[in-house]
Structure 1
Amino acid sequence: MLLVSAFGNFKLGFFSPASSTTTERYLGIWHDTAPDTLGWYFRPFLPRYQTDEPIWIANRNTPILDQSGVLTIDSIDGNLKILHNGGNPIAVSSVEGASNNTSATLLQSGNLVLREMDTDGTIKRVLWQSFDYPTDTLLPGMKLGINLQTGHQWFLQSWLDYSSPAQGSFTLGIEPNATNQLIIRWRRETIYWTSGLLLNGNFNFSRSWNLSFSYTSNEQEKYFEYSLNEGVTSSVFLRIDPEGALSDSRGSFAPCTYGGCWNQLPRPICRKGTGPENFQSKVGLISEHGFKFKESDNMSSTDCRANCFYNCSCIAFATGTSEYTDKQAYCEIWSEGTEFTEIASNNSREIFILAIKEEKWWRSLTIAIGVVLGIPLLCYLCYVTWRKLKAKDNVSLLPTYGKRKSPEKDQSISHELKIFDFQTIAAAANNFSTTNKLGEGGFGPVYKGKLADEQEVAIKRLSRSSGQGIVEFKNEVRLIAKLQHTNLVRLLGCSLHGEERLLVYEFMPNKSLDFFLFNSGRKNVLNWEKRFIIIEGISQGLLYLHKYSRLRVIHRDLKASNILLDDKMNPKISDFGMARIFEVNESEANTKRIVGTYGYMSPEYAMSGIVSIKTDVFSFGVLVLEIVSGQKNHTRHHPDRPLNLIGYAWQLLSDGKGLELIDPSLEQPCSANEVMRCIHVGLLCVQDQAMDRPTMPEVVCMLQNETMPLPPPKQPAFFINANADDQVPEVPDNEVAKFSTNDVTMTTMEAR
């Protein structure tokens, strides 16, 4: 049975996707009018979408598994529900306070409306309508925008793939901070495409579509909608497909989004001459397990392809559906060196392998000859240029350094930052002897020293062999010289001498947090009172960096080894070589230079290069859980699968066993409420989506206010790897990724 609109142009009923191989069925609305005279021309170019495919789906994420589906109006609350043999009724509408005298009508606009009726059969009010809950298709009269009074948003969300209507990776909505623009986002974070401004009822991409857009903005709502120009039939509607392309029902694509907006993202240099379309499907056997992203991400094939293409070491990917996690989609990628055998067998699987375009032999020969002849000359030019830049860098960084500096400027540049000569530093550190060595920092060794005035200092030596370049050195000097806070390590001075770059800090007698926290013989020094003081101190330091300093600073490498402890065990955040300065009104940025430490990096930063204050919030959350438990994040916490500390903490809290996370070395009594609040706040900070994580002002308030109610944390960002012992593919030296190297940085990626 079907529910048909007045003129028969729309129908409501149960269906299975045409390209699906499962028995899953959905309740949907589809257009039942033949395409207009222009539409038939495009159909050969758009085989995946037909005019009789649904324009709205009621249960896109909860399909029924047999033929038993029935749409009914509940006799008690008057809401629309789907009854089936497979389990509980599926709610289509959820209107509170509805009466049992309701009626559902499919209008000729394609809108399914639930109305409350008077006793005489007249319409009393509209309770619910499908136009308020669009799926992947926009019809004339639908809105894209936001209800400012209720916060409800109207947006389109693509299918997961062409055979599954489940919510996919691409959304089309309005840009809330701009005027008259539409925006497509990938996985709710990455901006794929913007429409530009609305001019004279049209966007640039829609001028050939015979549509007229309008924009409404008032105190109640902001939204776009469109109407059809005169002479255009009602079969024309807009759709966002699983690859992120925006098209009308006749197959006309928005010019800048064909093929999923791939052209909007800059291609890596390593993919020159190759595009995402160059993955070839092959069936066979692969030599080893790949890296598997967490199944809760529910990645589509488009997501998996993108993650592989923009990872220079990736050569192949595969997607599928997990049998263990409610049929969620998974993504697995393989790096260079993996062997693939194309063969049909019971164990064979479909793998998408990137086909690298081969250059003409004569082109390769020409390049080879040019390289051989040009290398000597290039090396000489590089050496001369390097020498000049080196001298210029030394002068620009330290204008008072050298023989021409005046006595008045010999001791200080600004903010009491002293310039030391190399001989003074070497003497203070006993010529950098091993007995004075405190440990290895992110970019080189750190030594204990004593100046001529008996002041004890810590000296960070950044020589030619260290990973830190002049960029990081300048960054650290420029930043720390301007930052003054009790929970930030204080920079006393610096020195440049040839290839030597040295930073002089105040001396921290109790070394770093990891020295105590992860050592079974020393961790008992950290009772709960001290641990909570350390947590609060770190939060205050981050609050200063994010909000109250003259520069808005994102640290980007917050971890236990970068938290130093003074003589009273108060924490001080150190190592600002990787920090980034933001403008006051700047909330996030993209970077090609990804730096940090595995286990502490947020997923959007590690995978997409998106850096924001929430990057530090994620690292802080990991650090809080480590302080409570006394264990590193990459430690395994599950006998059957590589569940890391974050996942273990979330599982314990979900099971009501949060206190089991406490470090066994902590002596009782300690405040159970305080511990649970720290675990709760830590899990809020490591939530998968950056927008769900609190800001540091909110974190500080949560930690200090014991009566403040805390929202339940969503599933955190941690990976479930098919083979946790697989090593992370090495990043070539010429790649943009750089990770700090110290005693807690892992070369093996453990599950997050």
Structure 2
Amino acid sequence: MQLGSGTLFFSFIFSLLSSQYGAEVLNNITPSHPLFEGQTLVSPGLIFELGFFSPNRSGNKYVGIWHKDRFPRKVVWVANRNKPLALIDTLASLRISSNGSLELVDGKQNFVWSTNDTIQVSSSNTSSVAAVLSDDGNFVVKEVIGAGESIWQSFHHPGDTLLPNMMLGFDIKNGKSFFLTAWKSESDPSSGIYTTELGRRTDMPAQLIIWINRSIPFWRSGPWDKSKFIGMPNMDDRYLNGFKVDENVEQGTKYYSYNLPEKTLGYLDLSSQGKLKLMYSENGRNWSLNCEAQKNRCDIYGTCGPYGICSISESPICKCLKGFVPKSHQEWSKGDWTSGCVRKTELFCDRQTNKKSVPLQGKKDDNDDGFWKIIRAKVPDYHQYITSLDLEDKFNDCKIQCLNNCSCLAYALVNNIGCLVWYKDLIDIQKFSNGGVDIYIRLARRELGEGNSFKLIACLTAIGLIIILVAIVFSLHRLRANRKESIPTSRDTLREYIGKHDPSELLIYDFDNILTATDNFSITNKLGQGGFGPVYKGMLQDGKEIAVKRLSSSSGQGIEEFKNEMLLISNLQHKNLVRIMGCCVKQDEKLLIYEFMPNKSLDTFLFDTRKRSVLDWATRFNIIQGIVRGLLYLHHDSYVKVIHRDLKVSNILLDEKMNPKISDFGLARIIEGTQNLENTHKVVGTRGYMSPEYAMGGLFSEKSDVYSFGVLVLEIISSKKNISFSLYDQQLGFLAYAWNLWNEDKGLELVDETLGGSYSSSEVLKCVHIGLLCVQDNAVDRPTMADIALMLSREKDGPQPKMPVFTIQNSAYHPRPHSESINSSKNEASITMIEGR
């Protein structure tokens, strides 16, 4: 009792001191130095911190671990997650007990949580035991005498978070299992209903699974192919080499883990809603999303039921596989697809008494079974693995082994895995826009159109008639097209037009569905007004949010610009380019449907004195880097070189994480690989962003975009509009003002004053330097986007920029670039129109 009273008294005195003088930092916890409220245990490199916390002012208190100096704070491990302390209990402590274990006691010395009641230590007394927090986030109890072996570690008792080098998996022989358990809510770290674990089949390729109440599958990653999970096509390949699965079939162990590059922090989190996210932080910045497991309804396990396939880009999102029909048409009509589908035609194999179909090598029977191919798919659940394949012809051998087994319903040959086959109902199939694998579904041959010779002849006859009719329709269509240029106005002819240009995954939406989604283009859904018409927010029937660009009949974006944007951007895929989902045309209405950007465009923050504080320097620098990546893709990495021609602040959209996406490709042009410059008779763009050679001579190239980018960078740094800038009564333009500050070594004075001193001086000066290099008058003096990417990564320093002197008002002529950079011998372009937007 005396010891307990003394501890209570000490705790009380310490709590008073800590509240008055601030928290104390500890390097370890020992029997003589427990951890009290107001103290924190910090890792040697000041990366992680352990202490008492209360989530979202919940009224309860816990001991947990979080990253030090990263926001928002993410608690990555909780000791007493299922047994909280009272918030008013200021005398609780985390200590080394008399038997060498780590334990948490409340202010009355009642036991709350412990690592283990029977920990055995090799030394004669427990004074040699200490608890320390390492720089990888592992909380370890170990002996400090001798070899310093660990007695207990938090990495073996994960909560809702997997840190780099932690393991998720199992050891069958020793009965060990490491899995994540979500919090019950954002304010309650107790065990929730969602868990994540590695599938426990040692003889099958590994896959991650999220369960509800440890029994109902909620999501799965698809099998591991030795570099990635094939059911997650959007895994960010920057960190792909850091993911790994270690397995030992003989030992009965299989573990998933990952690591990140040096100076990069990260965590894999299972949220209370069952979502799995990988977050990362580079160079001291706050958290950014790397990849996410559940991005839409199709990612939820079994959304479309057995023999159904889910595609988020289609409406409705669920369809039956070929040869199958809905099991319950009534349920499907209500949007409930979980009952799945049933086979229309019984398999030939199932009708045979010997339950074995004719081998593929033999004569093909008209009634035999065949296979239907699904491309870019997530493979179904319950796969089996065939190891004994003919090494010279794996694909054909995989097919034969499936065909010759009446229980085999599908097969797939997956790179780095081998032959997968399915004997159970095919469930959780998803169609991807990229990635995925090819799956072959077993069908009765008549479902494949190969069963009956008479049907084949009839089909060929019908095709012949259709061809004749199409030829007649096409001739009439061409005749009408010669009389008047017009974009196809019906859904069918538009689909025909798009089909000729082969865009990837571009959908044609029904106009009435878009009307419903936007509430008849309600003013309350209006996101903004672009140069070619208004943009509205909408929500499709499947709950997906969209942005609808409604081109007004009087807008400057005519038929060619609409076609250009519709077809060009549909074939450009990059995380820093806005994604077009489809289009819609009805009479005079021309609509483009994009992915929805919740934070609208950059100008809504940058030029609003109330909102610009949201754009701290880290966010602005990230936006600049994202724009560079997007332009680098357009100029160098895409399948064609694309010049945007209208890069400006309002055409930079921001997603929910404030990541930038370049939008509005109505004026974009494709440049052939051998060309450096193009000319145009119609100069259309935005005043203040157009390069001199484009504004005055109609010449455009990738250096035109570089010029616009330079203006954009200087605006992002300063929060000043280039076209409305004025400095007292001086006739000094925005670019000249920026260059003068740079030339006088006052470049930091360009920074938006709302940032105060919270910015990296070196990063700001580098960006000012790059911006001024980009807006030089002569195109050949400007860097390429590849040069800019190197300069931003500190791998290359640029030359000193020349003073920009060009303005439309006082320059009637601007010198052309050197002749060697121009393929044509003479510029015959004449300016017929300059349009300000």
Task: Provide the TM-score with structure 1 as the length reference.
Answer: 0.43
**Which of the two has higher C-alpha Rg?**
2
Q: Which has the higher contact order (CA 8 A, sep 6+)?
A: 1
TM-score normalised over the length of structure 2: 0.39
